[in-house]
Structure 1
Amino acid sequence: MEELHRVCKNFTRHDKKTRTILLCEMLEYTNVFLEAAFRAEGYSFETLKNPVKDRTLALRYISNDYCYPTVLILAQFLEYLESGERDPEEIAFMEPQAGGACRAGNIYNLLQRVLYRMAEQGQTEYAQIPVISLNLMGEEKHTGFRITPGLLSGGIAAGCYGDLIMCLYQQVKPYEQNPGETDRIRSQVEKKLCESIRRHRNGRHTREKNYRYACEVFSKVPVKPGKKKRVGITGEIYMKYSKLGNDDIESFLLRQGMEPYSGGFVNYCLYLVDTERYKAEKYQHNPIMVKACAFVLHRLCEAQKHLLTVIGETDRFQTDLPFPELKEKVQGILAEGCNTGDGWLIAAEVIQYVEKGCGSVLILHPFGCLVSHVCERGILQRLHARFPDVSIQTIEYDYDQSKTLRESRILLAIS
């Protein structure tokens, strides 16, 4: 059995040619572009799209003390295995790791343990499935997978394109005259942008050309006059961006006649890099790491600046604040050192939403996430004091929670 456990930990060069990498469903608007970026580097790559019918499936192998994202991500992987869609020898699993105090960073190891336990119970073929960690810190290396400059360039383009589509879609979909037209335009634009990534055309000028194309196409969608109530969505990263995790809260708000607004994923990536820079400077006293993080921050901020500038040229669409301006918003609310989990970023996004016209803000967090409970609930008093006329509420998600009860609470929070 020890040999089985060791095999399951390595993704080889041969595996790159014979296996399809499967990533958990996490980034609703970015996944399609990430798939294009990985395929451009020669990987067979897909995002899991199977709906999880049994959200307690993972509890056969793990304790119910684990947080909701862990339970849900493992359940999605396990349901895919049980479906028999592909032979275990044809697949590999990938799990992102952001590091920090979040227990979800252990899902990589936990998934390996689950496959090992399944092998012990007689399903030995599952122990042959490699599990890859997607991280920028060089942890859990595999001989057949590494983050190359080409993959990094494609990943940056994917993040920017995901934020672009989310920004345009959320501001057009609630007002479309012809139902379904915004979704058709979104699909059309995604295909064009994915093709650009697959052809390794990820330079600044190409990206800006694609930004303008997307803005132009979305601007031509016929819309109804008027202004609907805008509702901001923030919170723990998985709950905020995963349609599976938040039960597709965006579609729920659209059905209620609201305009949903979510902050971009690029700001989250910048927050992670900035957090590593802060730790290297204040605690580790590592000047090399500080310079490396500062360099990455500068490049990402430049990429974000180009995106926001092009969208802003239209005079039709609102954009997120650039990362440096967003960070300034938390002064007087939280210190820069509060960067455990999603830390000060959530407070900054709440302030941004209010200033962008949101009358209600929903902070989504999963049951079992101690970081979310401390950081997200801890900021409410000061935010309520600063914005007494805005409804700012936390919404908790759990695998055995009534969906009807949760939706009733959401309606109460935005009413």
Structure 2
Amino acid sequence: TDPLIQHKVSDMLAGMGIQVLTDEVASIDNPEIKDTHFLSQWAYPNRIMKAAKWCAMQDGGVQFVQMTSFGCGPDAFITDEVRDLLLRYGKTLTLLKLDDINNVGSMKLRVRSLIESLKLADDKEKAKTVSAFRTTPVYDGKYRDRKILIPYFTSFLSPLIPSVLRMTGYDVENLPLSDEASCEWGLKYANNEVCYPATLIVGDVIKAFKSGQYDPVRSVIAITQTGGQCRASNYLPLIKKALVDAGYADVPVVSLTLGDDIENDQPAFKINWLKILPIALRAILYTDSISKFYYASVVREQRPGAARELRDFYLRRGCELIESNASNRLFDSLSEAAAAFDGICQDKTLPRVGVVGEIYLKFNPFAQKNIVDWLIGRGIEVVPPILTDFFMQSFVNRKVKLQAHVERRKLSDFLMDGIYGIVRKQIEKVNARASRFRYFIPFHDIFEEAREAEQVVTLNAQFGEGWLLPAEMIMYARSGVNHIVSLQPFGCIANHIVSKGIEKRVKDMYPDINILSLDFESGVSDANVKNRLLLFIDNLKR
């Protein structure tokens, strides 16, 4: 609507004899937009999709022109869906990308091309045909015996995820860790402007079938979903679209989520969360602790390779305990692990670096270009990020949303406080068992972290990593870890606003803190990342 921002495109179109309608015209008929690979999550994309559907249903005299700005997050996935929707109705999308360069010549050229194509077309000589919407099948009983494949996430929790889900009666397997082929396939079958983790995850799925390692007629894809205000909530439709475009339209996709924010028809995929949640909680605390043990000991090990051997051994033991229905013994195994890791360590004081950022990047080795191993190779102790806080923040987020009147109370405060108390007792047990490892940093109380973060940013900032990112930075600083690497996908607007936006405030509170922000995307140069890290650790070792 702003004529300066849009370079007066509406006036330009009107001057060429075109009658201009805004997207508000779609509100008259309010068409449904179910026949798309799109999560109806935000008001702006919903409006665009409804306008495209309305335009598609009109005769050939009504065409669709979409304006988008470079780097606009939602446009990375809705643009493809708008184009596909119009094509099914025999129309084409005219896309005008705007930036701060005041040159409308290229835009005029595109619009003139649209006008000329309409003059050549004769819509009266043939009846309007609409192509059927193609998507992946509903996961019902006939797919129940298929193997469920899950994209690889982290070197610590991912090995235990199949064991946890097998307790529900499903045959589950992790896909291999991402590699360059994943990146190439992701760029081919996902919009190139979508966030880097989405590129890799889509690429992992397509690579699995293109490589011949997995049979698509015997497979199902599962993806974890939080339903948060992030493009990651669209991973489900992105994967479905990629499978259809790649020729694997018969592979069902299921959503692994606790809430009902993600709508996906999957009648044969039912999880008994009352049974699984206690196991999942133990598994997360167990693997987070093993991660703390490993990264503190791998730079202090008396014999090279000892830390890796212990890590692999205790992760295998974790799988065995879960699959033998003995997850209640995980914490006993943790006590043994703490003592074992402690026994391989030399007494050393080393420079320490904390890692924060977007959840996939900070946990996935390939996505972050193995910078954690790179730091370890230079004798630096990495204080790892943990998954426990990511899930625990939901207790804080619920209270904040209720206080802000943006969410209705679904469960009583008494019940939620009771659940939090139970979880907190489990965390305290882990802290006690893991303290046998001399370099162990205990798990913090999430409400304490939230109080610290509130000095920097509102707790209503729950998109992307939200307030948890500054909370992690502050807790590192309070633990004496003053050097932090922040990993973000290029174009991840929420994380850039939070991570870079709060940096000055955090430095004002903790003047000794040193933060290095690294952006990642499919074309990022290894040399560029390593050069910036070299400068960072040069300052660290002074």
**TM-score for both structures, normalised by structure 2:** 0.70
Structure 1, 53-62 or 186-195: larger mean CA deviation: 53-62
SS in 2 for 1:307: helix
Which residue of 72, 75, 82 maps to 2:200? 72
Confirm whether residue 47 of structure 1 aligns to residue 170 of structure 2.
Answer: no
Shift, 1:49, TM fit: 1.5
Are 2:347 and 1:233 equivalent residues in the alignment? no
Take 2:518 and 2:502, find their aligned partners in 1: how far apart are those partners?
A: 14
Are 1:147 and 2:271 an aligned pair? yes
- 2:457 corresponds, among 334, 346, 363, to 334
Shift in Å at residue 391 of structure 1? 1.1
Structure-1 residue corresponding to 2:286 = 161
Given the alignment of the two structures, is residue 260 of structure 1 paired with residue 362 of structure 2, yes or no?
A: no
Change (3 A) 1:2 1:201: farther
Q: Which residue of 2 aligns with 1:114?
A: 242
Shift of 1:368: 1.7
SS at match of 1:414: helix
Taking the aligned partners of 1:199 and 1:66, their CA distance within structure 2 comes to 41
Tell me the distance in 1 between the aligned counterparts of 2:437 and 2:341.
11
Aligned twin of 1:288: 410
Question: Which amino acid letter does the alignment assign opposite residue 187 of structure 1?
Answer: D
Alignment of 1:204-283 (within 5 A): 206-221=329-344, 223-283=345-405
Structure 1 residues 229-256: Cα deviation after superposition (integer angstroms, max 9, x where no partner): 1000011111111112112222111112
Larger RCO: 1 or 2 (CA < 8 Å, sep 6+): 1
Matches of 1:113 and 1:264 in 2, distance apart?
Answer: 32
- 1:326·1:348 contact (CA, 8 Å) conserved in 2? yes
Letter in 2 for 1:113: K
Say what the alpha-carbon RMSD is for the aligned residues.
Answer: 2.1
- Code of the residue aligned with 1:405 in structure 2: it is N
Specify the alignment match of 2:313 in structure 1: 188
1:356-378, Cα deviation, whole Å (9 max, x unpaired): 22231011100121111111111
- Aligned-pair distance for 1:99? 1.7
Preserved contact between residue 33 and residue 161 of structure 1 (Cα < 8 Å): no
Q: Which moved more, 1:192-201 or 1:251-260?
A: 192-201
- 1:326: how far off? 2.0
Change (3 A) 1:331 1:277: closer
Per-residue CA distance 1:134-161 (angstroms, 9 max, x = gap) = 1110332522222212222322122111
CA distance in 2, matches of 1:328, 1:285: 21
Q: How far apart, CA to CA, are the structure 2 residues paired with 1:273 and 1:242? A: 26
Give the aligned residue type for 1:30: L
Query: Against the structure 1 CA distance between its residues 16 and 150, is the aligned structure 2 distance closer, same or farther, given a 3 Å change threshold?
Result: farther
Q: Distance in 2 between matches of 1:293 and 1:322?
A: 16
Distance, in Å, in 2 between the alignment partners of 1:352 and 1:345 is 10
- Quick one: distance in 2 between partners of 1:2 and 1:144? 25
Q: For the structure 1 residues 296 and 341, does the alpha-carbon distance in structure 2 shift closer, same or farther, using more than 3 Å as the test?
A: farther
Q: Which residue identity does 1:384 align to in structure 2?
A: K
Distance 2:291 2:154 in 1: 11
**Percent identity between the two aligned chains:** 24
Q: How many residues align?
A: 403
Aligned to 2:65: none
Contiguous gaps of at least 5 residues in structure 1 = none
1:114 & 1:43 partners in 2: Cα distance? Answer: 24
Q: SS of the residue aligned with 2:519?
A: strand
CA 1:355 to 1:285, structure 2 compared with 1: closer, same or farther past 3 Å?
Answer: closer
The aligned amino acid for 2:372 is E
Whole-angstrom distance in 2 between the partners of 1:268 and 1:30: 13
Contact 2:335 / 2:436 at 8 angstroms: preserved in 1? no
SS for the counterpart of 2:332 is: helix
Q: Does the alignment pair 1:102 with 2:219?
A: no
Structure having the larger proportion of residues in helix: 1
Alpha-carbon shift at residue 3 of structure 1 (Å): 7.8
Distance in 1 of aligned mates of 2:510 and 2:149: 43
Q: How does 1:16-95 map to 2 (within 5 A)?
A: 16-17=144-145, 19-54=146-181, 55-95=183-223
Larger Rg: 2
Give the AA of the match of 1:170.
Answer: Y
Instruction: Please say if 1:323 is aligned against 2:446.
Output: yes
Partner Cα separation in structure 1 for residue 403 and residue 265 of structure 2: 26
The one-letter amino acid paired with 2:534 is L
Deviation at 1:9, TM superposition (A): 4.1
Q: Which runs of 5+ in 2 are unaligned?
A: 1-130
Q: Is the 8 A contact 2:149 2:174 kept in 1?
A: yes
Partner SS, residue 93 of structure 1: strand
Equivalent position amino acid for 1:145 in 2: F
272-281 vs 100-109, which deviates more? 272-281
TM-fit CA distance, 1:315:
4.4
- Name the stretch that deviates more: 369-378 or 38-47: 38-47
Does residue 202 in structure 1 map to residue 327 in structure 2?
yes
Query: 1:414/1:328 Cα in 2 relative to 1: closer, same or farther (>3 Å)?
Result: farther
CA deviation after TM superposition for structure 1 residue 313, in Å: 5.2
Structure 2 CA distance for aligned equivalents of residues 376 and 99 of structure 1:
21
- Scaled by the length of structure 1, the TM-score of the pair is 0.91
Shift of 1:289: 4.0
Q: Is the 8 A contact 2:396 2:450 kept in 1?
A: no
Q: Could you say which residue in structure 2 is the equivalent of 1:354?
A: 477
AA partner of residue 201 (structure 1): A
> In structure 1, what is the equivalent of residue 251 of structure 2?
129
